[in-house]
């Protein structure tokens, strides 16, 4: 049985869980600028929690392709303020902080966050593994090449599935050697992958169970969906639901999404097929 220890709460992932995205950034690809004030953050948090989110993922730094850098101080301000205001209103919430900088991870966990979600898998901050080990929180380790600003040009793979699997396996070994116990792997759909490569990863997602850690699928409203359907991120909910269902059937244990209600419905229906009822 795969479980996560989040601040003393043991989360059973035998039934997949949903992670709602709260971006406190002005420039995220889908919801940039929509959840920036305390009122808007709390409104979004309340909606996602009421719809069945197990986790909320707070990000203060946009990682969309070509995203501009911001200072550590600005990211800390955005992320810590969001974590503190959510926990003040909803103190039992399990918050993940979306950052690749160890200082932001440290400050937000000190403010009450329960998980570190690192899109770089430790490649952009040499101290990240050591800090996460000291913080004693679960670590989401994603595959990416380069930085958000450069990754779109780094898509030269001979076999994307094999290379991403190998890279994640090596990073998981390093993270474990650093003393991190709870690790979640994310193949990084769209991060230094073309649309075709992202679909190849999804098609082969069951192979990632060989990593022996829970798999997170972050597909929500991404370009692999809306470019294929010749639409926009705003009109990509139906496509997101379709691919989230495929990800669940191929073994994903956490869905990271903008739309919690629809993702929870995917998990519930998948559970009925597999004889496992959804539990938050």
Active site residues: 222, 256
Q: Which of 212, 209, 234 is nearest to 222 (CA)?
A: 234
Number of helices and strands (H, E) in the chain?
9, 10
Distance CA 57, CA 19 (A): 6
Q: Could you count the other beta carbons within 10 Å of the beta carbon of residue 74?
A: 12
**In which residue are the tokens 């990073």 written?**
171
Instruction: Give long-range contacts, CB 8 A cutoff, 24+ apart: 6-11.
Output: 6/94, 6/114, 6/115, 6/137, 6/138, 7/94, 7/114, 7/137, 9/94, 9/114, 11/54, 11/94
Q: In angstroms, how far is the first alpha carbon of the chain from the final one?
A: 16
CB 160 within 8 A of CB 193: yes
Q: How many CA atoms within 13 Å lie on the side-chain side of 238?
A: 5
- In Å, how far are 39, 55, 105, 194 from 170, measured between CA atoms? 42, 27, 22, 23
Tokens of 229: 């359907």
Which H or E element spans position 7?
A: none
Q: Could you count the other beta carbons within 10 Å of the beta carbon of residue 268?
A: 14
Q: Which of 132, 139, 275 is nearest to 213 (CA)?
A: 139
């Amino acid at each position: 049985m795969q479980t996560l220890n989040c601040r003393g709460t043991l989360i059973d992932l035998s039934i997949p869980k949903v992670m709602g995205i709260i971006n406190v950034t002005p420039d995220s690809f889908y919801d940039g600028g929509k959840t920036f004030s305390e009122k808007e953050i709390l409104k979004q948090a309340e909606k996602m929690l009421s719809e069945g989110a197990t986790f909320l993922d707070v990000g203060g730094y946009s990682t969309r392709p070509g995203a501009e850098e911001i200072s550590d101080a600005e990211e800390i301000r955005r992320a810590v303020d969001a974590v503190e205001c959510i926990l003040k209103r909803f103190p039992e919430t399990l918050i993940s902080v979306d950052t690749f900088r160890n200082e932001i991870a440290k400050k937000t966990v000190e403010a009450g966050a329960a998980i570190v979600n690192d899109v770089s898998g430790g490649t952009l901050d040499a101290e990240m593994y050591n800090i996460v080990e000291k913080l004693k929180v679960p670590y989401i380790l994603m595959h990416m090449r380069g930085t958000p600003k450069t990754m779109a040009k780094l898509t030269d793979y001979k076999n994307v599935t094999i290379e991403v699997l190998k890279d994640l396996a090596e990073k998981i070994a390093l993270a474990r050697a650093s003393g991190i116990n709870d690790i979640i792997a994310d193949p990084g759909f769209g991060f230094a992958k073309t649309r075709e490569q992202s679909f190849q990863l999804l098609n082969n997602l069951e192979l990632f169970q060989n990593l022996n850690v829970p798999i997170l699928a972050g597909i929500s409203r991404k370009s692999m969906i809306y470019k294929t359907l010749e639409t926009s991120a705003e009109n990509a909910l139906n496509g997101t639901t379709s691919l989230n269902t495929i990800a669940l059937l191929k073994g994903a244990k956490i869905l990271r999404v903008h739309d919690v209600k629809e993702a929870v419905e995917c998990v519930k229906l998948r559970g009925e097929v597999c004889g496992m009822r959804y539990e938050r």
